[in-house]
């Protein structure tokens, strides 16, 4: 290679290096802009959910321990520090709901949605409040919005499945509850609900398998035990009914629940006695069930089914007497 050729190659290499440097600088500049946009413009809150402060975490922990009044103190503290803390508003709404103050619970969750429209938990919380108020279409909309924002929100899927099942749309209910369990396989309450959905569809064998899973996951849960008892008493497939086992489970569940009952445990016992032919005992326990259940709704709306079932037990316990049948002869002559 002569000197001219070398000089020419050197100039080309120099130009190439200058071009590469220019491109590198532009690349770094673009990368820097992307980093800034990612950090400050991208809607991380929608993806990750709202940040949880230490006070909100403490409040949620107290809710899990059923210390609702103490939980509210921490949520108040979090909101004093940041009035726009939607997680604190949702947490306080949960605490108010457990304390029976649905008006305050609804006010807080409405505020949470206003401050953070992409907070899936807020829509889920409002959905359950609307469901309790029997505003079913509005509750469905909120649960649908919740799972739209968070497609792994197992609890919201389960709540929507429950509404579908109560509305006799078991196919939709089954699809939703399967999504809930796909997201959270050991979600015991969702398994219980799926068992009931399957039972209502006449798929008692599949329901029985779910109850067996529940027994392994939560062997000491009184609610699950009484649910299994009710299934063994009422499953449409009579081959899977077992009144003797059901009685054993119903009595065990009632003992385990202690005074924490709302009538359901007594009603399961009533049906167990009825299936064993003791209608008088069935009436006795069903009356207790109605008395306990009425405390939840003074207007009696939540015990209507219980009252209808009581009539069935009372008819079966009724002593049959013919009062108009003449036994003695009408002729007084001897």
Per-residue pLDDT of 267-284, as tens digits, reads: 999 999 999 999 999 999
Determine the pLDDT at residue 8: 41
Q: CA separation (Å) from 284 to 86, 216, 277?
A: 48, 33, 14
- Reported as a single tens digit per residue, the pLDDT across 175-184 is 999 999 999 9
Neighbours of 307 (CB within 10 A): 15
Residues 85, 74: Cα–Cα separation, whole Å: 12
pLDDT at 45: 42
Q: Which comes out higher in pLDDT, residue 99 or 39?
A: 99
Give the three-state DSSP class for 53: coil
How many CA atoms are closer than 13 Å to the CA of 285, on its beta-carbon side?
22
More confident: 260 or 251: 251
pLDDT of residue 238: 85
pLDDT band at 263 (very low <50, low <70, confident <90, very high): confident
pLDDT computed for residue 261 by the predictor? 64
Position 50 scores a pLDDT of 52
Contacting residues for 162 by C-beta, under 8 A, at least 6 apart: 131, 173, 193
Residue 324 pLDDT > 60, yes or no? yes
For residue 334, name the pLDDT band (cuts at 50, 70, 90). low
Residue 296 confidence (pLDDT):
73
Q: Which fold has domain 41-150?
A: 1.25.40
> Is the predicted pLDDT of residue 326 greater than 70, yes or no?
yes
Q: With contact defined as beta carbons under 8 Å apart, do 95 and 63 qualify?
A: yes
Task: Kindly report whether the global pTM for this prediction surpasses the value 0.85.
Answer: no
State residue 10's pLDDT score.
41
CA gap 187, 221 in Å, rounded: 13
d(CA 6, CA 246): 97
Same fold, 41-150 and 220-316: yes
- pLDDT(312) > 80: yes
Alpha helices, DSSP H only, in 41-169?
A: 44-48, 54-64, 68-81, 86-98, 102-115, 120-132, 136-149, 154-166
Please compute the mean of the pLDDT values over residues 208-226 and round it to a whole number: 93
Cβ atoms of 96 and 72 within 8 Å: the answer is yes
d(CA 256, CA 228): 14
**Which tokens hold the place of 172?**
């939709």
Q: What pLDDT, in 10s, does the model give residues 139-183?
A: 999 999 999 999 999 999 999 999 999 999 999 999 999 999 999
Helix (H, G, I), strand (E, B) or coil at 220: coil
Separation in Å, CA 229 to CA 158, 176, 266, 269: 22, 25, 12, 9
Local confidence band at 321 (pLDDT 50, 70, 90 cut-offs): confident
**267: closest CA among 247, 253, 249, 287?**
287
Task: Render 306-321 in DSSP notation, one character per residue.
Answer: HHHHHHHHHHHHPPP-
CATH T-level topology, domain 220-316: 1.25.40
**C-alpha span between 144 and 181 (Å, rounded):** 17
Whether residue 135 has pLDDT greater than 90: yes
Q: Whole-angstrom Cα distance, residue 76 to residue 64?
A: 17
Contacts of 119 (CB under 8 A, 6+ apart): 45, 49, 50, 86, 87, 90, 112, 113, 149
Q: Kindly report, residue by residue over 47-98, the tens digit of the pLDDT.
A: 344 556 899 999 999 999 999 999 999 999 999 999 999 999 999 999 999 9
pLDDT of 2-50, one tens digit each?
A: 444 434 444 434 344 444 444 454 444 444 444 343 333 434 344 344 5
Range name among 5-14, 220-229, 251-260, 318-327 with the lowest pLDDT average: 5-14
For 281-302, the pLDDT digits (tens) are 999 999 999 988 887 776 777 7
Domain boundaries, the chain: 41-150, 220-316
- The dihedrals phi and psi of 199, each to the nearest 5 degrees, come to -65, -45
Task: Please state, in angstroms and rounded to a whole number, the distance separating the CA atoms of residues 33 and 31.
Answer: 5
* Residues 6 or more apart whose Cβ sits within 8 Å of residue 226: 249, 250, 253, 254, 257, 264, 265, 268
Is 274 in a helix, a strand, or coil?
A: helix
- Per-residue model confidence (pLDDT) at position 270: 95
Structure tokens at 201: 């569809």
């Amino acid at each position: 290679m002569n000197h001219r050729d070398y000089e020419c190659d050197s100039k080309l290499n120099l130009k190439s290096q200058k071009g590469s440097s220019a491109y590198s600088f532009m690349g770094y500049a673009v990368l820097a802009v992307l980093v800034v946009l990612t950090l400050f413009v991208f809607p991380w809150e929608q993806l990750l959910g709202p940040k949880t402060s230490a006070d909100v975490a403490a409040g949620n922990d107290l809710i899990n321990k059923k210390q609702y009044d103490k939980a509210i103190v921490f949520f108040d503290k979090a909101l004093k520090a940041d009035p726009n803390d939607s997680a604190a508003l949702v947490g306080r709404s949960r605490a108010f709901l457990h304390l029976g103050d649905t008006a305050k619970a609804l006010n807080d969750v409405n505020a949470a949605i206003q401050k953070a429209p992409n907070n899936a938990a807020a829509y889920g919380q409002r959905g359950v409040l609307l469901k309790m108020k029997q505003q079913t279409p509005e509750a469905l909309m909120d649960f649908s919005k919740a799972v739209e924002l968070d497609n792994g929100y197992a609890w919201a899927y389960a709540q929507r499945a429950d509404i579908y099942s109560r509305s006799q749309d078991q196919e939709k209910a089954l699809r939703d509850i399967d999504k809930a369990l796909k997201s959270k396989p050991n979600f015991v309450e969702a398994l219980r609900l799926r068992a009931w959905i399957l039972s209502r569809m006449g798929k008692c064998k599949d329901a029985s398998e779910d109850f067996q899973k529940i027994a392994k996951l939560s062997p000491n849960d009184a609610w699950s035990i009484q649910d299994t008892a009710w299934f063994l008493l009422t499953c449409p497939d009579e081959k899977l009914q077992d009144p003797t086992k059901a009685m054993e489970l119903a009595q065990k569940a009632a003992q385990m629940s202690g005074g924490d009952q709302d009538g359901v445990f007594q009603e399961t016992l009533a049906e167990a006695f009825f299936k064993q032919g003791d209608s008088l005992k069935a009436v006795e326990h069903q009356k207790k069930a109605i008395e306990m259940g009425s405390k939840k709704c003074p207007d009696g709306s939540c015990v209507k089914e219980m009252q209808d079932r009581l009539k069935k037990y009372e008819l079966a316990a009724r002593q049959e007497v013919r009062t108009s049948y003449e036994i003695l002869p009408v002729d007084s002559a001897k």
